[in-house]
Amino acid sequence: MLSFLYARQSGLDDPVRLRRAESTRRVLSLELNHNRDVDRIHGNGINTLDIEVIDGRYMLSGGSDGIIVIYDLENNSKKPQYTCKAICTVGRSSRHVHKFSVETVQWYPHDTGMFVSSSSDKTMKVWDTETLKVVSELLCYSSHSALLCSVLAVGTKDPKVQLCDLKSGSRIHILQGHRGEILSVRWSPRYDHILATASTDIRVRIWDVRRASGSLFTLDQHNGDKSKASSEAVNTAHNGRVNGLCFTADGLHLLTTGTDDRMRLWNSGTGENTLVNYGKVVNESCKGLKFTVSRGCSPEFVFVPCGSSVAVYGLHSGELITMLRGHYNNVDCCEFHPDYQELYSGGKDCNILAWVPVLRQPGIEDDETNSKRGGTQAAINPAFEDAWSSDVD
């Protein structure tokens, strides 16, 4: 660390290098930490999480029980130990609440005053954060949505992908091409007219929404090599249903997961399969899988729910770096906090767990302080982890 600080101070290194190196170190040291706790509100599995990008302060969660919760991630306790408070909840008592499981929640990208949710109760709701009331509602089948500015892309049980205008609440465009249920939709963070959709028809399509015609291209796991694929498997991304999509932060690559227990990394510009081998990525989810990638690290990492743990892979190396174990049931979603390199994961055990980087140990020379603050020391000691986890239950 001192050498990085010196190199930054004397201008030998670009200041970004220190930032990347430290971010990477922090991601590699992620663990459950007794200093951080998230209020337990949901009484059922948690399907989806989203952290807003403006202040990085508020997190949304949507559960199988139809409840939506907003958490404040900021530490106002003036102490290292704190609990992320649930500041408001759309509970069963609210007349706006979703009747069935909430599949997606997402903040409006430019303002925390609004967010959208979609549910298997065949509705899509746009919420006012202040009043927690629905400002507009769309009827559609069980849906997965992705929001970009004022255009909302909705994938449903129907193979057609719908684009809705958030202002008017009306459908403005329909993208046709898939032949099965849409399990995931994502906008490219690089170009605001590029959309990726994943479907049970084992295909992933990339769309340019400015064009009226069909998709730009379909991802092909064999890169066009006919000899490797049977005729019906041409232009397929996976050998099973594709249930997860995630662009890298720079938008140059796209990750997909499928029920064939594979994860694939694609060049999002050309649709080429980069053939990074992540090994077997167990994927039993029959719904959409919400996984995420790190931001600002070098190299970058993928966090993907895998059974009851979160697997951390090197994005370009494909190497399994670690399994974050802590949940008692299947993990359905995880969300990375790019500002502080923290990971939040939600699972069927109704918990949201915060994975926090280990702090560097303070000076070793003071025995008296160490004994006084045994707590922080314990955080570094893995033996305390289990004891803490059982507290949560």
Partner 1 sequence: MSYNYVVTAQKPTAVNACVTGHFTSAEDLNLLIAKNTRLEIYVVTAEGLRPVKEVGLYGKIAVMELFRPKVCVRTHPEELSLKQASSVRKYRLGLTRVGDLLLITGAALLTRCALNSQVIDVQFLYGCQAPTVCFIYQDPQGRHVKTYEVSLREKEFNKGPWKQENVEAEASMVIPVPEPFGGAIIIGQESITYHNGDKYLAIAPPTIKQSTIVCHNRVDPNGSRYLLGDMEGRLFMLLLEKEELMDGAVVLKDLHVELLGETSIAECLTYLDNGVVFVGSRLGDSQLVKLNVDSNDQGSYVAVMETFTNLGPIVDMCVVDLERQGQGQLVTCSGAFKEGSLRIIRNGIGIHEHASIDLPGIKGAVKFLGGASSRSTASVLELSRLVKHTAVTTHTHTTEPYCTVVVFTCVCVQITSVSVRLVTQDSKALVSEWKEPQGKNISVASCNSTQVVLAVGRVLYYLQILTGELKQISSTEMEHEVACLDITPLGESAGESSICAVGLWTDISARLLKLPCFSPLHKEMLGGEIIPRSILMTTFEGSHYLLCALGDGALFYFGLDIQTGVLSERKKVTLGTQPTVLRTFRSLSTSNVFACSDRPTVIYSSNHKLVFSNVNLKEVNYMCPLNSEGYPDSLALANNSTLTIGTIDEIQKLHIRTTVAEKEVKGAVYSMVEFNGKLLASINSTVRLYEWTAEKELRTECNHYNNIMALYLKTKGDFILVGDLMRSVLLLAYKPMEGSFEEIARDFNPNWMSAVEILDDDNFLGAENAFNLFVCQKDSAATTDEERQHLQEVGLFHLGEFVNVFSHGSLVLQNLGESSTPTQGSVLFGTVNGMIGLVTSLSESWYSLLLDLQNRLNKVIKSVGKIEHSLYPSAAVRDVNSHSRTLSHTHTHTHTLTLTHSARKGAWTLLVSHCDVEAATDDLLWRRGLSTLLHHSF
Question: Closer CB to partner 1, residue 232 or residue 365?
Answer: 365
Query: Which residues, 6+ apart, have CB-to-CB distance to 39 below 8 Å?
Result: 69, 71, 83, 84, 85, 86
Give the interface segment with partner 1, choosing from 7-15, 60-68, 129-137, 304-312 (CB under 8 A).
Answer: 7-15
| Interface with partner 1, residue 83, by CB under 8 A | no
Tell me the C-alpha distance between 268 and 273, whole Å. Answer: 9
Q: How far is the CB of 388 from partner 1 (least distance, A)?
A: 18
Angle, alpha carbons 203-139-147 (nearest 5°): 55
| Interface with partner 1, residue 2, by CB under 8 A | yes
Q: How far is the CB of 314 from partner 1 (least distance, A)?
A: 11
Among 12, 149, 234, 387, binds partner 1 (CB under 8 A): 12
Query: Which residues, 6+ apart, have CB-to-CB distance to 143 below 8 Å?
Result: 103, 104, 118, 119, 122, 124, 154, 155, 156, 157
| Interface with partner 1, residue 361, by CB under 8 A | yes
> Which residue is it, tokens 């041409």?
234
| Interface with partner 1, residue 359, by CB under 8 A | yes
Which of 154, 119, 113, 152 has the alpha carbon at shortest distance from 135? 113
Q: How far is the CB of 253 from partner 1 (least distance, A)?
A: 8
Query: Which residues, 6+ apart, have CB-to-CB distance to 302 below 8 Å?
Result: 246, 255, 263, 278, 291, 292, 293, 294, 312, 313, 314, 315
Q: How far is the CB of 87 from partner 1 (least distance, A)?
A: 11
Residues 254-273 that bind partner 1 (CB under 8 A): 267, 269
Which of 303, 388, 334, 393 has the alpha carbon at shortest distance from 35? 388
Query: Which residues, 6+ apart, have CB-to-CB distance to 299 below 8 Å?
Result: 24, 314, 315, 316, 317
Q: How far is the CB of 96 from partner 1 (least distance, A)?
A: 27
Binding mask 42-81 for partner 1 (x = CB under 8 A): ------------xxxx----------------xxx-xxx-
| Interface with partner 1, residue 371, by CB under 8 A | no
Q: How far is the CB of 73 from partner 1 (least distance, A)?
A: 10
Contacting positions for partner 1 (CB under 8 A): 1-2, 5, 8-12, 15-16, 18-19, 22, 54-57, 74-76, 78-80, 252-253, 267, 269, 274, 316-317, 339-340, 359-363, 366, 368-369, 373, 376
